[in-house]
Amino acid sequence: MTEENTSPAVEEQIPEAGFAIQKIYLKDLSFETPSGLEAFTKAWKPNVQQDLNIQVNPVEEGLFEVVLLLTITARIDNKVVFLVEVKQAGLFLINGLDGIQLSHAINTLCPQILFPYARETIDSLLTRGGFPALMLAPINFDAVFAQAVMQVQQQAEANAVATAEHAAEAPVTVN
């Protein structure tokens, strides 16, 4: 028999990539029906607006609280019928990733896990409030992330061009 001799220092130097859900929970919930009974007297053909935001709070090394904020506003004749805000949160352990890989995991994988919980909370809340369930369509968080990265790159390029143009216009002083 041969014995493998690996030192603990060598094992600690190679971080193992890993992802684990520690906890999923409802962080905040708000439901408003500002038009009251009037909302139930009109034909139900609302204009529904969905706003999405992702908040990330580092808790400790490799542990992140990710909060998916969904705001749903329904209007009929430009009057708000209902407004729902859900902050669905999760505590995620993410090891061995950094830079764009970590950002990608936090902004795509975590929200993909949280979204079904938020969608169910919204539908349950709406039906208890007397409204039909919305059955929100799934969101492609990979596409949302790719679009956000592209916007950041375009903004950086625009800023670089503006800085270069400003430098070219600046007067040169020779002593």
pLDDT means over runs of 10, the chain (175 residues): 51 68 98 91 91 95 96 94 97 92 94 97 96 93 90 84 63 50
Do 32 and 74 touch, CB atoms closer than 8 A? Answer: no
> Which pLDDT value is given to residue 153?
86
> Which pLDDT value is given to residue 1?
53
> Which pLDDT value is given to residue 149?
86
> Which pLDDT value is given to residue 98?
87
Residue 161 CA: distances (Å) to CA of 99, 152, 168: 25, 14, 10
> Which pLDDT value is given to residue 44?
86
> Which pLDDT value is given to residue 54?
95
Q: What is the pTM of this model?
A: 0.78
CB count within 10 Å of CB 91 equals 17
The gap from C-alpha 123 to its chain's centroid, in whole angstroms, comes to 19
- What residues form DSSP beta bridges with 26? 88
Q: Helix count (H) and strand count (E) of the chain?
A: 4, 4
Comparing C-alpha atoms, which of 52, 62, 21, 20 is closest to residue 143?
A: 52
Tell whether the torsion through CA atoms of 18, 22, 23 and 27 is positive or negative. Answer: negative
> Which pLDDT value is given to residue 168?
56
> Which pLDDT value is given to residue 155?
87
Structural domains in the chain, sorted by start: 17-163 (3.10.420.10)
> Which pLDDT value is given to residue 10?
45
35 residue type, one letter: S
In the block, residue with structure tokens 């007067």: 171
Question: What is the rounded CA–CA span in Å between residue 72 and residue 50?
Answer: 5
In the block, residue with structure tokens 């896990």: 113
**What is the pairing mode between strands 47-60 and 18-32?**
unpaired
Q: Per the structure block, which two tokens stand in for 15?
A: 């971080």
Comparing C-alpha atoms, which of 74, 132, 86 is closest to residue 111?
A: 86
> Which pLDDT value is given to residue 175?
46
173 residue type, one letter: T
